[in-house]
């Protein structure tokens, strides 16, 4: 792969640091390309600093045989802008390879089996290391599971994902598997919960990309149905409807039962919680992630900066905007006095009220720790 990169309005000392980031992430592109890498592949990039604001813009253009991929990202510092642009480019390269190999023709049942089998572990780890990893992640599995369910509910309500794409249990399986594989590379300054949550966000984002590809692509080897809306002959649909008819996560399903002996009060609390979740579903994902992870899961802005790839200052601005939008929207559907007397944390609710199913936790931990 041939690389050409330019730096604009950046002094020599900062340029040296940015070049190191570019070199490191360029190697990541080479790894993702694999056998697609050749002398015919050309990467062009530029990072530019705004003249009067603390804002950087990174542009990347990857020329592949028969395809050109482009990524454009902005951030408060040059390294973050470059990392985000390369992350987007890596996603596009994976998608390009996905289409080139006709991966979109794979059936969902096979995909589910492969996903759940990732926890087979590595032969390089002994039983004691497996146990240490299990003890490390076990306390955080309920909270990560709750976050995953909320995220899937938002995406399903917007039509961006369906239960046939991926389930909360599969995401949690994949998070634990990915954590096991990348345990040695975990940033030591990052706590376990933010680390696992960051991987959950990555996996859900990857599945959304794959879902969009599946919806857009149609196999030329299959005969078109007489009625375009008739999906009764689809094998995946029949299997899904037979085995998992109720797997969709509705907004109502992620609302904990109100702790009140007064039926009217309990219903009022439930209706308010449902309104809050609908308001959250209207937020841009970065706004929602910042607000939920900070006010529901209690993460620090420094931790969020690590997993959301923004500065703490920018995330604080996102959180302020998200809270203002949510309260403004709720103000149109709730009594204003009730809204003003309720904190954001109280509005959003607790992440630990709905426990992780015991059988699911036992299944995951059993797969982490090999049998004697």
Return per-residue pLDDT of the chain as tens, 372 residues: 889 999 988 888 889 999 999 999 999 898 888 887 888 889 999 999 887 777 899 999 998 887 888 888 888 888 999 999 999 898 888 877 766 654 444 444 454 455 455 545 444 556 777 788 888 888 899 889 888 988 888 888 777 887 777 888 888 888 888 888 888 788 888 899 999 999 999 999 888 887 777 666 544 444 444 444 343 344 443 333 333 434 556 655 565 555 556 677 667 777 877 888 888 888 888 999 999 899 888 899 999 998 998 899 999 999 999 999 988 888 887 766 667 777 778 778 765 455 677 777 787 777 676 544
pLDDT of residue 248: 59
Q: Where in the chain is the domain with CATH 3.30.160.100?
A: 2-101
pLDDT of residue 220: 43
* CA dist list (Å): 269 to 12, 89, 92, 265, 352: 58, 44, 43, 6, 17
pLDDT of residue 199: 92
pLDDT of residue 357: 76
pLDDT of residue 245: 38
How many CB atoms lie under 10 A from the CB of residue 5?
A: 17
Q: Where in the chain is the domain with CATH 1.10.10?
A: 255-348
pLDDT of residue 132: 84
Superfamily of 2-101 according to CATH: Ribosome hibernation promotion factor-like (3.30.160.100)
Of the candidate CATH numbers 1.10.3930, 2.40.50, 1.10.10, 3.40.720, the domain formed by 255-348 belongs to: 1.10.10
In the Cβ-directed half-sphere of 168, how many Cα atoms lie within 13 Å?
A: 26
pLDDT of residue 196: 93
Sequence-ordered alpha helix ranges (H) in 8-140: 12-33, 78-100, 108-116, 127-137
* CA dist list (Å): 261 to 48, 264, 338: 60, 9, 20
Which helix (H) or strand (E) segment holds residue 61: the answer is strand 56-64
User: What's the rounded Cα separation, in Å, for the pair 38 and 49?
Assistant: 31
């Amino acid at each position: 792969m041939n690389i050409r990169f330019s730096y604009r309005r950046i002094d020599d000392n900062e340029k040296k640091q940015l070049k190191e980031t570019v070199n490191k992430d360029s190697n990541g592109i080479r790894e993702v390309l694999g056998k697609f890498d050749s002398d015919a592949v050309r990467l062009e990039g530029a990072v530019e600093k705004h003249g009067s604001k603390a804002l950087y813009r990174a542009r990347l253009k990857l020329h592949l045989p028969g395809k050109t991929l482009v990524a454009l990202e902005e951030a408060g510092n040059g390294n973050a802008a470059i990392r985000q642009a390369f992350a987007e480019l890596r996603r596009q390269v994976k998608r390009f390879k996905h289409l080139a190999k006709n991966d979109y023709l794979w059936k969902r049942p096979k995909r589910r089996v492969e996903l759940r089998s990732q926890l087979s572990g590595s032969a390089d780890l002994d039983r004691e290391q497996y146990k240490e990893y299990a003890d490390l992640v076990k306390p955080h599995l309920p909270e990560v599971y709750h976050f995953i369910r909320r995220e899937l509910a938002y995406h399903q309500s917007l039509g961006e994902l369906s239960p046939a794409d991926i389930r909360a249990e599969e995401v949690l399986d994949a998070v634990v598997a990915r954590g096991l594989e990348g345990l040695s590379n975990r940033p030591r300054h990052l706590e376990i919960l933010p680390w696992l949550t960051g991987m959950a966000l990555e996996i859900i984002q990857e599945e959304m990309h794959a879902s969009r590809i599946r919806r857009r692509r149609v196999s030329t080897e299959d005969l078109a149905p007489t009625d375009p809306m008739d999906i009764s002959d689809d094998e995946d649909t029949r299997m899904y409807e037979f085995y998992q008819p109720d797997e969709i996560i509705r907004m109502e399903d992620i609302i904990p039962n109100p702790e009140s002996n007064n039926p009217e009060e309990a219903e009022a609390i439930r209706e308010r919680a449902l309104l809050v979740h609908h308001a959250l579903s209207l937020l841009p994902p970065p706004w929602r992630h910042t607000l939920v992870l900070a006010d529901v899961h209690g993460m620090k802005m420094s931790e969020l900066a690590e997993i959301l790839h923004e500065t703490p200052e920018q995330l604080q601005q996102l959180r302020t905007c998200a809270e203002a939008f949510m309260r403004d929207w709720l103000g149109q559907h709730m009594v204003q006095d009730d809204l003003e007397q309720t904190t954001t944390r109280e509005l959003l609710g607790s992440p630990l009220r709905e426990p992780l199913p015991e059988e699911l936790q036992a299944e995951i931990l059993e797969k982490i720790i090999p049998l004697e």
